[in-house]
Chain A
């Protein structure tokens, strides 16, 4: 068994060396597939990060009536915090609101404040949710009559917000679906490229498979070297293609940071943190795909 395995490995390495151009062509195809898959994943993750960052910047400001006391506002804060998908609720006291308005420097507002002679503003709450869709459910909850005595302009403002959030949420969903669909289509194309590369590689050796069979080689002895070769192709393609892509990210991340900010889009960090999972999955996927392609191709010539 050990001797047979050693022979199979030797035949595989010998075949790769002696079919160098075929090895290079097949290896390059599989390597480019890894590079393409990494690029697709980067686009998928990058766009997701951009959409998420925009979602994070969204918030819902609830203006409370000036008569609302701090205690009532705190009760409301607790109630909102208890809602699902709420990430953060910030309480802004009426004094802080007044200060913010004064600092805005709008002469009309300043004149109005002076004319009234007292603080006309009520406190406000800034609600942050986990994603854009969550705001819609939060708004639905806050539209209940129990909050109408606390939240100013409840109906009108919420309708405007609801419409914007609905549109944004739909847009974000569409972007995600389009990117996912593109990823799947290109992943399918990549899979077909690998499938074809393996079949062509085996097709060029179809006569040899027939000869091996005629001199008494078992099916496993014929298939064995191909499986070893495909293991090597998959491993090296992932190492070289993946390594090259990480290097590209090192070069490209500063530009992404300039455009989107380090916290919003950081593909390099994503790929570094998840390298084992991403490239482990790519290796397993490629290896399984190429094995299936090889077994189908070899079977055809074994039966010939």
Chain B
């Protein structure tokens, strides 16, 4: 008899489980619909579009072509592409040089200061980048704050024409993208097991050697996350080149925007976007490879830390 009751209960459970599954399917329906209609759909269309032909006057014709991709490598656009890549390279390098020490030193401060610095870096990060760039305009424009300051000290006699130049665009890029690098480096430096560094120092390594052989490889994944988060955006952030560079600096982002809004050559803009997406994927792939290596090493470090804790607790008792 008991088994009969059990069976009944079990079948009830299964029924409920099935019902729940059906209900859950209903719950996820919106996200399935939205994702396929407005994320997958547009992306697939972009790829198809990049192989289509531009119509004479307006719109696109459904004729297969590889011309859009060839066009990227034509003299005019490839020059811009190279220039944009170079600018992305310089900005990323500057972001690394400025952001890596910041993230690294931040991880070495006391926990309360870590929290404070984190908040202090978060706040400007939240603020619209347009607003922050506008601040730079006020500072850098002819007869702006910097000019006034330099002239007051007597370093310069006349206003420097700093705004609307190549270096200014880099300043803007670095300023907008720096927080990404700082977080990435900080979060991997913060997890670092400093006893490994101390051990290498005890074994006679110089501070520089300890840094190169221990600290740097262990924080490399953070650095790479930062690179992923800064390199591609610095090719796409067209408004920085627009606002701070005048018409002098043209990024891939500017070409995409121009091709879409002014020239109306959509297939070409799509091809450029596909290339940007491929570059992004390659960077993410490299990052994943390195991060996997770190995870293996990181787990080992964590185990050691746990053991240390156990030891300490044991001593306490």
**A and B, one complex?**
no
